[in-house]
Amino acid sequence: MPLQGKKILLVIAGGIAAYKSLDLIRRLRERGAKVRVIMTRAAQEFVTPLAVGAVAGERPFTELFDLSAEFDIGHIRLAREPDLIVVAPATADLMAKMVHGRADDLASTVLLATERRILLAPAMNPAMWMNAATQRNFARLQADGVVFTGPEAGEMAESGERGLGRMSEPLSIVAAIEKNLFDLPARDALSGKKILVTSGPTREPIDPVRYISNHSSGKQGHALARMAAIAGAEVVLVSGPVSLPDPSGVKTIHVETAEQMLNASEGALPADAAIFAAAVADWRVTKEAAQKMKKQDGKLPSLSFAENPDILATISRHSNLRPRLVIGFAAETENLIDNARAKLMKKGCDWIVANDVSTGTATFGGASNEVHIVTATGVEPWPMQTKEAVAASLVKRIAVTLGGSRPGGAR
Ligand code: CTP
């Protein structure tokens, strides 16, 4: 059974989609998971604790100040024991509370007290989901490391209402749970260490309104920075233009061009390890036009290019400030391993994280990544997993290599 022995804490908040949570509990238990449930007061208006208890096989927890439950398990144990906390349905109100770290009932207190991963399956009216406040909260929670499944588009429970806001179906939530059940690095795995991460694309100007860039979303680099911070490192993230919020607990430096990225990266040295996850534009236009280039009756403009500095190679070869561990990425569309090996040599780094970005793999911009770790001694294929999970595994491997205090379950 895929979830055998896994402990899931399900928080049911108050929304009509709460009826689907009963099915979710059943699906999780069928797969061998042990499900413990917290219901908010509002959730109990939609499904009864009796029904939830019958499906879960144990009494749901409902009160913060419940003497018998507190003696039995206690809210701190509720927060610490699960492998993953799932909030389904997650309401706009609960998301807002999480953003502000409020703890005025059992659900919000446990969500604040936990060090476990939290997966939210939002469900709300489309207008509430699209409201700027909810979108702000959504972005903030993602930057804090909370992961999401849904909401989905479609017909809402209120008749005639359509749009983005439906809770994901129980089986999609189960799939998201399976993907997110990976171990985070230990909180002190990288304490006392400084890690530099580059992320996102660079943007090389042609004129004041045009530029050369690429499809990098920054998801992998940002996940690495966040994960290194979770592991207790001092993290400097040098990020090209991305639509992701700055990760919590990380010093983020925003840059546009490759040259600026190089300067900011060099400025962040010394560091114990450097991870170059950015997709740096290889070329820049030699001379940026001072004014917007105008069309000239069918005459095509000619641009001349210069090669950008190679940030990874420059820092790998730094005479006195080379970090102990330098990690590059290789985005390849063919001959993945051979090209990655060649890059390892050419750039002078210690590891290459090689990923296939050929058409159809959806690595660029997507949530998952299938990588190979290429080192001087061999090639390690890793399974297809979320970018978060890749980041967690890589951070654990870095901690082992740097001899951090406690790497915590490194592969
Ligand atoms: N990189 C860098 N500076 C550059 C180009 C690449 O730091 N100017 C880093 C990337 O962050 C990545 C690694 O080098 O860690 C490899 O990037 P990739 O785009 O795969 O390789 P390129 O060097 O651009 O080689 P090619 O385009 O020929 O595959």
Q: What is the CATH number of the domain that holds 155?
A: 3.40.50.1950
Q: How far is the CA of 82 from the centre of ligand 1 (A)?
A: 40
Q: Cβ < 6 Å from ligand 1: which residues?
A: 198, 258, 276, 278-280, 282, 308, 310-312, 328-331, 343
pLDDT given for residue 179 in this prediction? 84
> What would the pLDDT profile of 232-289 be if each residue is shown by its tens digit?
999 999 999 999 989 989 999 999 999 999 999 999 999 999 999 999 999 999 999 9
pLDDT given for residue 331 in this prediction? 86
Helix segments in 268-358, DSSP class H? 311-316, 336-347
pLDDT given for residue 56 in this prediction? 96
Do residues 266 and 341 share a domain?
A: yes
Q: How far is the CA of 210 from the centre of ligand 1 (A)?
A: 22
- Residue that is last in its domain, among 158, 182, 206: 182
Indicate whether 407 belongs to any domain: no
Q: How far is the CA of 227 from the centre of ligand 1 (A)?
A: 23
pLDDT given for residue 63 in this prediction? 82
pLDDT given for residue 385 in this prediction? 85
Of 45, 49, 35, 54, nearest to 14 (Cα)? 45
Q: What are phi and psi of 373, to 5 degrees?
A: -95, 115
pLDDT given for residue 142 in this prediction? 92
- Residue that is last in its domain, among 182, 216, 231: 182
Half-sphere exposure of 53 (CA within 13 A, CB side): 9
**Residues identified as active-site:** 214
Q: Which ligand 1 atom is at minimum distance from the Cα of 329?
A: 15
pLDDT given for residue 68 in this prediction? 64
Q: How far is the CA of 47 from the centre of ligand 1 (A)?
A: 53
Do residues 149 and 90 share a domain?
A: yes
pLDDT given for residue 386 in this prediction? 85
Look at the chain and report how many structural domains it folds into. 2
**Which domain range does residue 218 map to?**
194-402
User: How confident is the prediction along the chain (411 residues), in pLDDT tens digits per residue?
Assistant: 778 889 999 999 999 999 999 999 999 999 999 999 999 999 999 999 999 999 999 999 998 777 666 666 677 888 989 999 999 999 999 999 999 999 999 999 999 999 899 999 999 999 999 999 999 999 999 999 899 999 999 877 776 777 899 999 999 999 999 888 888 888 899 999 999 999 999 999 999 999 999 999 999 999 999 999 999 999 999 999 999 989 989 999 999 999 999 999 999 999 999 999 999 999 999 999 999 999 989 899 899 999 999 999 999 999 999 999 999 999 888 899 999 999 999 999 999 999 988 756 666 666 678 899 999 999 999 988 888 899 999 999 999 999 944 434 333
Do residues 175 and 235 share a domain?
A: no
The CATH number that applies at residue 246 is: 3.40.50.10300
pLDDT given for residue 410 in this prediction? 36
Do residues 155 and 283 share a domain?
A: no
Please say whether the beta carbons of 189 and 213 come within 8 A.
no
Q: Whose CA is nearest to atom 27 of ligand 1?
A: 282
Do residues 273 and 309 share a domain?
A: yes
Do residues 177 and 134 share a domain?
A: yes
Please say whether the beta carbons of 205 and 288 come within 8 A.
yes
Mutation probe of ligand 1 site: the residue of 239, 282, 349, 357 with most atoms within 8 A of C-beta = 282
Q: Taking the alpha carbons of 33, 44, 121, 94 in that order, is the dihedral positive or negative?
A: negative
Q: Which ligand 1 atom is at minimum distance from the Cα of 307?
A: 8
pLDDT given for residue 155 in this prediction? 78
Do residues 238 and 328 share a domain?
A: yes
Do residues 103 and 204 share a domain?
A: no
Q: Whose CA is nearest to atom 4 of ligand 1?
A: 310
Helix (H) or strand (E) holding 212: strand 210-212
Indicate whether 92 belongs to any domain: yes
Indicate whether 238 belongs to any domain: yes
pLDDT given for residue 369 in this prediction? 81
Do residues 22 and 163 share a domain?
A: yes
Mutation probe of ligand 1 site: the residue of 265, 280, 363 with most atoms within 8 A of C-beta = 280
Indicate whether 411 belongs to any domain: no
Indicate whether 263 belongs to any domain: yes
DSSP-assigned beta bridge partners for residue 34: 7
Give the type of residue at 35.
V
Do residues 157 and 258 share a domain?
A: no
Do residues 221 and 80 share a domain?
A: no
Indicate whether 2 belongs to any domain: no
- Residue that is last in its domain, among 182, 216, 235: 182
Indicate whether 189 belongs to any domain: no
Indicate whether 409 belongs to any domain: no
In whole angstroms, give the CA distance from residue 60 to residue 38. Answer: 6
Give the contacts of 282 (CB within 8 A, at least 6 positions apart). Answer: 307, 308
pLDDT given for residue 182 in this prediction? 81
Do residues 132 and 238 share a domain?
A: no
